[in-house]
Structure 1
Amino acid sequence: MVNVVVILVILFIILGFVSIRFIMFIMFGGKTSKQADCELEQQEQYLQKIREICIKHQLTLSLQYKKCQTIYGTLDKKKWDSEVEHFIECVIGNPPNWVPYEWIKQEIEVMISRETQNLSSITNGYEFEEYCAGVLRDLGYDVVETKKSGDQGADIIATKDGKEIAIQCKYYLRPVGNKAVQEIEAARKFYKTKYAAVITNSTFTSHAMELANSCGVLLINIADIENLMFYLKQKESEL
């Protein structure tokens, strides 16, 4: 009798275990819980990859968002949707079906809101330098900020893929002129970097562009900073 009871208890435990595994198998679409956990982890990694791509292109996306606004400051939703679709197709690639378009769009808009707030809050050159340094770090550069006074013309020394760049940051309400180009060219020699660049929130005078072209200094608007490495490679091919 005792043996029968023991056998029944063992059978009950086995049946219970099998039932639980079967239920989990059905819940996870024919996958074990371990397989489901692995799949969830892969999905989260993919979503994080999308976030990183959006951050990398945040300045360009912010600029394109502004271009999709009417003269009255309202958003042309049809134009913006078309821009987001273009970004997904050309930059992210075709995402799997489980990643909804609205999720990607929301991630982009949250990032743009944060980026616009950060850039619009800048009131002076020092804050602009800090902003540029932060963006470069986000883009994967090793960044060293020079001292605030006696910097010999460079605000930042940035390095990526073995390329070292002396950078001057200019927060101007008018076009940046020759002086900035002359200063950063001198800084390149002082810091012994191969490359030099001036980054601004404004534009450059024709004289500044002419001088920069003759001595190999890169002139970049902050909205185009993500393409810095591309421009460096272009410049390298011209040497």
Structure 2
Amino acid sequence: MFRYLWRHKAFSAVLLFLFGIGLDLQPTAAWAGLALLLFLRLTKVHPLLLIYDLTDRAAIKHIRTLATKRAHMLSPDEYGNVSEETWDKHLNTFIKKTLLPEFQRRKVDHLLAKNPKRYAGRLRTRINRIIDRHQPAQPLAEVDETMTGREFELYCRDILQEAGWHAALTPGSGDQGADIIAEKDGRRVVIQCKFYNGAVGNKAVQEAYAAAAFHDAPYAVVVTNSVYTKSAHQLAQRMACCW
């Protein structure tokens, strides 16, 4: 509803200005404006609005990272189960390390200190709503469900070429798991394409890294029209650290 009353303290200045003018023109409205100013200043409404404003701006600033992290952490495991615990922990860390220092700088962190669990829950809900509203459009929205696996590989190759990569399909045999080898600015990437109905698991990650080693490429990528299992995400992160 507010966006927001106290940004740059402009609202306070406007109310005081209107109060000064309104005493002569409309005393009732002037006193009502002053009462609203005092109410906001003397209650927790002002710091609460400021906290929400700072949260919104930080979430929008980091929207791509947050949206990607949420997609990874809420991916189903091998049994189709989804756990929100890891994502909630990540948001708590985001609040602590990214938002709290700004709250402290603006001297509104006292609200969180009074009831940290309650306000952390509110902020997590708010961030999730912002991600739902602003997250980037799905890049594979044009994928045709009737595609074959080879057509999906061609589709991925065309996207890479449009982005300025020199991308070529492998012959399909003896490629050690590589479907596309792409190069740009001296960087070589081995890509495995998985056109699936179900979730992509560990095997695809293992094959992609094996193919990258075989083709002497420093980067391995698994692309899919579907989703990845939680264990596939974890394996990819572990192998990327050790690669």
Indicate the TM-score class for this superposition, using the shorter chain for normalisation.
0.3 to 0.5
| Structure showing greater Rg | 1
Q: TM-score, normalised by structure 1?
A: 0.45
Which protein has greater RCO, CA pairs closer than 8 Å, 6+ apart? 2
